[in-house]
Homo-oligomer: A and B are copies of this chain.
Amino acid sequence: MASRRKTVPRAVIGRLTKYLTYAQDLCEQKVEWVSSAELAEALGLTSSTVRQDLLHVDFYGIAKRGYRVDGLRQVLTRFLGADAAWNTVVVGAGNLGKALARHGEFARRGFRIVGIFDNDPRKVGSHVNNLRVEPIRDLPGSIVSKKAEVGIIAVPATSTQAVADLMILSGIKGLLNLTLTHVLAPRGVKVVEVRLTASLWELAHLIKSDAGRAARPARG
């Protein structure tokens, strides 16, 4: 009952998404069992961490065999809400916003794009997939009428908080922020930030700070 007692730490949640992906792959390959050691090796973790993490979602294996792949997939799917259908709006119809609206994986994985919005009059009225780009003044009404729960922010950084506030006022439940600017939200509204440029900075730093060291042989 660990999952009922306490909230699961974000670091653990992040790894759970990895286990889910891996379990999905194994399922397709008709593999039935997986050990904590295999999961750990495939995902760059320790087997101890894997076992502790699965405790968080009350998923138990069997000594000597490991974990049932299909059960793992099911438990994680439910835990992460990947079985639900989430109505999702995209704000910003630039390169990134359009790409996300068209990104087939989102729809396949349960995030149905029900609207795309922009303030640029040259974009409003154009079509992305089978959606018409709407002006941002229609965003609040759309969130309500289409029962959107998730909002994706893909606008220029200067409009980030304004767009977030508008969605929050309209009752959005969660935001995926793709801009560099941090979003402030009340506790009831969840925010996950995917900061592409910042990720490249992180990568650049890691490359730079490793440059001094001697080149090492491969993998492990």
Q: Which residues of A contact B (CB under 8 A)?
A: 7-8, 10, 13-14, 17-18, 20-22, 25, 42-44, 79-82, 84, 86, 88, 95-96, 98-100, 102-103, 105-106, 109-111, 149-150, 157, 173-176, 180-182, 184-188, 190-192, 194-210, 213, 215-220
Task: Please name all residues of chain B whose beta carbon is closer than 8 Å to the beta carbon of A98 when the two chains form the complex.
Answer: 95, 99
Most buried by B among A17, A20, A176: A17
Residue pair A186, B218 in contact (C-beta under 8 Å): yes
Q: CA–CA, A212 to B215, complex, Å?
A: 51
Q: CA–CA, A44 to B181, complex, Å?
A: 12
Residue pair A198, B95 in contact (C-beta under 8 Å): no
Q: CA–CA, A150 to B197, complex, Å?
A: 13
Q: CA–CA, A103 to B157, complex, Å?
A: 13
Q: Given B88, B103, B197, B217, which contacts A109 in the complex, CB threshold below 8 Å?
A: B197
Given contacts A106-B196, A149-B207, 5 further A-B contacts (CB under 8 A): A8-B209, A81-B205, A81-B207, A81-B208, A95-B103
**What 4 A-B pairs have minimum CB-CB distances, sorted nearest first?**
A81-B204, A99-B99, A17-B198, A190-B206
Also in contact, A201 and B81, with CB within 8 A (given A99-B96, A174-B206): yes
